[in-house]
Structure 1
C-alpha cells in the first residue's frame, strides 16, 4: 500500500507537531519499524522547525509526503530564502563556533539516506528528505573454504 498526502500549514510552531503526527500515523499504519519512524519524524520536525524559525514574513508552507514499500520521501516547500549547506559549513568553520548553527542540518543528514535543497524558479525553497524503509541486507560471514 502507498500513502501520499500534501498539507498546507501556517508558519507557526503549532503546525510542527500536527504534521509530525500525520506522518507518524501514516508510517505506523504501514507497519514501518518504530526506529525508522522515529528517525523520519525527527528529520521532518527539524525541517519544519527551520521553516518556522527562518521563513520570515511568509505565512504558509507545504509538506508533501509519499510513502511506498521501499521509501518515504518528504518535501518541505516554503517561500523563505532557504539555505546553502556549503555556506553554512564554511561559516561554522570560519568565524563562528560550530555549536551556533548547523546542528539541524547535520542531524537531518544523519537521520535520512538523502537530503537535498533546491531553489525553484518561482522563489520557493524545497528541502527533500528520503529514507529507505527496508533495512539493508544483513551481512553474512562466510566460512573460508
Structure 2
C-alpha cells in the first residue's frame, strides 16, 4: 500500500534538520536498511542545501516542499522549489582525481546524490518550478 506525506518549510538552513528528520522517518517506515536510510538523509540534505544556496540565492527567499512516497519497493522523495531553474546537464563532472588543494570547493553534490540513490531525476517547468525526484529501493546497494 502506498502512503504519501508532504512537508513545506521556508528555505532556511535551520529547516534542514526538520526536513532531514521527516525524510529519515519515511525511509525507516519504508523498511530501508540503516545504510539506505543514511543515504536518503545525505541526499535530501544536499539537495535542500543546494536549493537554499543556489536556487534561491540565500535563506528565506522561498519555500522547499518535500514529499515522501512509501511503496512496496521503497521510498520516493520529491523535492520542489520555485527558485532559479536548475539544469543538471550544465554541471561539470567533478575531477575526482584532483588533489584536495587543486579541487575548488563544492561541485560534488550532484555526484554524491547519484552515487547514494537508485534514481535521480530533475525537471523544470515554469508553473511547477524545479522538481527533484530521488528513489531508494529496498535491498538495493547503497
Cα pair 2:30 2:74 within 8 Å, conserved = no
TM-score by length of structure 2 reads: 0.81
Q: In structure 1, what is the equivalent of residue 40 of structure 2?
A: 40
1:103 aligns with 2:108: yes
**What SS class does the counterpart of residue 134 from structure 1 fall into?**
coil
Task: Tell me whether 1:63 sits opposite 2:74 in the alignment.
Answer: no
Aligned partner of residue 44 in structure 1, secondary structure:
helix
Q: Show the counterpart of 2:98.
A: none
Tell me what 1:119 maps to: 124
Shift of 1:69: 1.8
Q: Is the 8 A contact 1:2 1:67 kept in 2?
A: yes
Go from structure 1 to structure 2 and tell me whether the alpha carbon gap of 1:59 and 1:24 turns closer, same or farther (over 3 Å shift).
same
Contact 1:77 1:124 in 2 (8 A): yes
With 32-41 and 22-31 compared, the bigger mean Cα shift is at 22-31
Cα RMSD of the aligned pairs, angstroms, is: 2.2
SS at match of 2:12: coil
User: Does the C-alpha gap of structure 1 residues 75 and 118 become closer, same or farther in structure 2, counting only changes over 3 Å?
Assistant: same
- Take 1:17 and 1:79, find their aligned partners in 2: how far apart are those partners? 21
Aligned to 2:7: 7
User: Unaligned stretches of 5+ in structure 1?
Assistant: 137-145
Which residue is equivalent to 2:53? Answer: 53
SS at match of 1:89: coil
Task: Name the structure 2 match of 1:31.
Answer: 31
CA separation in 2, counterparts of 1:31 and 1:73?
13
1:72 aligns with 2:75: yes
